[in-house]
Amino acid sequence: QVQLVESGGGLVQPGGSLTLSCVASGSSASIFSMGWYRQAPGHEREMVATITRGGNSNYADSVKGRFTISRDTGKNTVYLQMNNLKPEDTAIYYCRMIILLTTYWGQGTQVTVSS
């Protein structure tokens, strides 16, 4: 059974930084795609950043230039470096991975940006 476990969320002041991590366990298959999504109260879940097995990344316009997605394929881990955080970045952040045509989600980690 594949499990994704996120870590690194928390409370940060505007302009601050956080790094999220997500590690997958329970599968030795190659991960096709890794990504981060977020959901704020009263809003739908939205894509933040994704990265393919080949290393191609894609970002939401709202985070371009501030967030960086990276991965360590040997550790089945994806990271999200978030800089210059804004109050509107406050949300639950979810890790998503596609393994053998199946989509898996983590349980989410709360990121709160507030002074």
Per-residue confidence (pLDDT) for residue 27, from 0 to 100: 79
Whole-number pLDDT of residue 93: 98
Question: What pLDDT is stored for residue 51 in this prediction?
Answer: 95
pLDDT at residue number 96: 97
Closest among 26, 47, 52 to 93, alpha carbons compared: 47
> Under 8 Å CB-to-CB from 56, ≥6 apart: which residues?
none
Write out the two tokens for 11.
């409370």
All residue ranges of the chain with pLDDT < 50 are none
Q: Residue 43 has what pLDDT?
A: 95
The pLDDT value given to residue 29: 78
